[in-house]
């Protein structure tokens, strides 16, 4: 999530000070991604350094208001008009955990999957309870909150489906056939060479781009 662009988008509505920005961010996202004030002020300092915001008035309580600049408004428009880029790789802890578990000797991968499925289903139930316990879904703040919760529900549902898919794939072969011994190869320093699968994925993306 881009904290920078999110704060700029709020400032595009009017000048705000740090705590006010946190409050406005929470209102628009249902407090599902809490930001601390230190993070907000650090971001504001970077935005000011980059010429995207400027310090404005100081009120009687000593609150320093930040105002968006023309460059900042252009940044907001560019952000809203552009798709969110997804990286080629993944840093999803669960995917990495299961890929490692499947290749480690003595690990009951089925048990790892079962443990995760229980946790994922519990999270899904909690999200659904929270959604249906909400107030008027047509109010602007409640609607913003429900949009974020819907996204979390869909992600949780997809995770459960992926766990089922993974369990079925791994059940088709004995675990010992998946085990990987430590390689005897001594890798060179520098960036690791791309795997054959990763190389095929990159070539496929380039082919699609050409089309």
Residue 209 scores a pLDDT above 50:
no
Cα Rg of the chain (Å, integer): 23
Using a 10 angstrom Cβ sphere, with 0-12 exposed, 13-18 middle and 19 or more buried, the burial of residue 204 is exposed
**What pLDDT, on the 0 to 100 scale, is given for residue 86?**
75
pLDDT by residue (tens digit) across 49-71? 999 999 999 999 999 999 999 99
- Residue-wise pLDDT tens digits, 130-182: 877 665 566 777 888 888 889 999 999 999 999 999 999 988 877 666 777 77
pLDDT above 80: residue 194: no
Query: 27 or 206: which carries more pLDDT confidence?
Result: 27
State both tokens at 127. 């999200």
Distance between CA atoms of residues 29 and 149, nearest Å: 9
Please report, for the chain, the start and end positions of each structural domain, with discontinuous segments joined by +. Answer: 3-81, 93-180
Q: How many CB atoms lie within 10 A of CB 25?
A: 20
Domain 3-81 has CATH 3.40.1410.10: no
Which of 92, 94, 49, 90 is CA-nearest to residue 72?
Answer: 49
The token pair at 177 is 């056939």
Residue 146 has a pLDDT of 83
Q: Could you tell me how far CA 54 lies from the centroid of its own chain? A: 29
For residue range 89-142, what is the model confidence (pLDDT) as tens digits? 667 889 989 988 888 888 888 999 999 999 999 999 999 888 776 655 667 778
């Amino acid at each position: 999530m881009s904290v920078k662009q999110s704060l700029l988008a709020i400032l595009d509505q009017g000048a705000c000070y740090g705590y006010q920005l946190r409050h406005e961010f929470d209102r628009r996202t249902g407090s599902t991604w809490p930001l601390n004030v230190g993070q907000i002020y650090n971001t504001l300092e970077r935005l000011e350094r980059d010429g995207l915001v400027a310090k404005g008035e100081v009120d009687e309580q000593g609150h320093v208001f930040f105002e968006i600049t023309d460059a900042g408004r252009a940044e907001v428009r560019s952000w809203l008009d552009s798709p969110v880029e997804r990286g080629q790789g993944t840093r999803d802890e669960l995917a990495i955990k299961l890929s490692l578990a499947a290749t480690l000797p003595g690990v009951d991968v089925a048990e790892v999957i079962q443990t995760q499925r229980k946790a994922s289903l519990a999270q899904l139930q909690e999200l659904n309870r929270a959604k249906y316990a909400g107030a008027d879904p047509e109010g602007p703040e409640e609607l913003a909150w429900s949009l974020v919760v819907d996204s979390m529900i869909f992600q949780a549902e997809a995770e459960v489906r992926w766990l089922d898919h993974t369990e079925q794939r791994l059940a088709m072969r004995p675990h010992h056939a998946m085990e990987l011994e430590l390689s005897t190869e001594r890798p060179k320093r520098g960036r690791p060479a791309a795997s054959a699968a990763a190389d095929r994925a990159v070539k496929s993306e380039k082919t699609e781009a050409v089309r």
